[in-house]
């Protein structure tokens, strides 16, 4: 998994504080930034957190480049709908020798790992063979329509992989660019940094949190699983390790 913070709102914390100041102070657009020192910016963000006023934090957005994650993770990630996603297309990009994500639990058992790798090899063979068969047929059709050899081959390959991709597994690796505003990010971290979240998306969320804390530490000071801010809400489903989780995310903030 490779995660990078590609771009974000300039001075994200000051931008949020500016929006909050306009709500609560007798300021206008020309003067709203005046007097927003680092200390006052931090005070505004702390106040917003204390009173639960979340709309001002929507003014800060963060864009991530993500690669080496599975299609299984992608299905979970895109359930967070208040975000923008651009994903490398299996329709336009051929997946010859595709990369895949090997779950740690499978990797730890030699027999399971061997079975998994065999399945990936088999899927690769099926994908390549399907692409060949479909491309051969489509090329004949395009040639019959009067296209040149080169153009017929190009269009046939593109059309062939549209259907060949159906055999690819959830483990198939993908790449994407994702943008979320700070409010949606905090909601994302609440759900996906929790120990009950699936391991791969939990790893992604934790790394994304580490990155944004590096540029907006006040804004994301309390971000993470719910047990950072109080009792675990999971009831009988709780991992029972709230203190360990709190210590882990405290170290995450120090690392940033």
- For residue 234, name the pLDDT band (cuts at 50, 70, 90): confident
- Name the burial class of residue 186, with classes exposed (0-12), middle (13-18) and buried (19+) by CB atoms within 10 angstroms of its CB: buried
Q: What is the pLDDT of residues 55-110, one digit of tens each?
A: 888 999 999 999 999 999 999 999 999 999 999 999 899 988 899 999 999 999 99
Cα–Cα separations (whole angstroms), residue 57 to 24, 27, 154, 239, 245: 15, 19, 47, 30, 25
Which pLDDT score, from 0 to 100, does residue 200 have? 97
Cα 203 from Cα 144, distance rounded (Å): 51
Q: What are phi and psi of 100, to 5 degrees?
A: -145, 160
**pTM confidence score:** 0.90
189 and 209 Cβ atoms separated by less than 8 Å: yes
191 and 176 Cβ atoms separated by less than 8 Å: no
Say whether pLDDT at 27 is over 80: no
- Residue 163 parent element (H or E): helix 149-164
Which pLDDT score, from 0 to 100, does residue 197 have? 93
- For residue 127, name the pLDDT band (cuts at 50, 70, 90): very high
Q: Look at residues 67, 75, 76 and name the one whose alpha carbon lies nearest to residue 98.
A: 67
List, by residue number, the catalytic residues.
192
Cα 141 from Cα 135, distance rounded (Å): 10
Dig out the tokens for 11 from the structure: 């001075």
């Amino acid at each position: 998994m490779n995660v990078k913070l590609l771009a974000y709102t300039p001075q994200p914390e000051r931008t949020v504080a500016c929006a909050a100041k306009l709500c609560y102070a007798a300021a206008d657009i020309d003067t709203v930034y005046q007097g927003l020192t680092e200390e006052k910016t931090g005070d505004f963000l702390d106040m917003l957190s204390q009173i639960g006023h979340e709309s001002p934090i929507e003014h800060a957005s963060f864009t991530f480049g993500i690669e080496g994650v599975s299609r299984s993770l992608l299905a979970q990630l895109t359930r967070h709908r208040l975000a923008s996603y651009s994903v490398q297309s299996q329709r336009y990009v051929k997946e010859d020798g595709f990369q895949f994500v090997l779950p740690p639990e499978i990797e730890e058992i030699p027999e399971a790992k061997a079975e998994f790798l065999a399945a990936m090899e088999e899927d690769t063979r099926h994908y390549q063979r399907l692409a060949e068969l479909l491309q051969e047929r489509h090329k004949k059709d395009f040639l019959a329509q009067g296209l040149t050899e080169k153009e017929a081959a190009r269009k046939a390959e593109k059309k062939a992989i549209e259907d060949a991709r159906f055999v690819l597994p959830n483990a198939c690796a993908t790449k994407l660019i994702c943008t979320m505003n700070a409010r949606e990010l905090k909601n994302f971290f609440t759900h996906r940094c929790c120990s009950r979240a699936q391991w791969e998306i939990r790893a992604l969320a934790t790394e994304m949190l580490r990155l944004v804390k590096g540029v907006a530490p006040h804004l994301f000071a309390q971000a993470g699983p719910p047990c950072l801010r109080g009792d675990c809400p999971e009831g009988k489903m709780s991992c029972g390790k709230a203190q360990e989780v709190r210590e882990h995310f405290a170290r995450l903030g120090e690392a940033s």
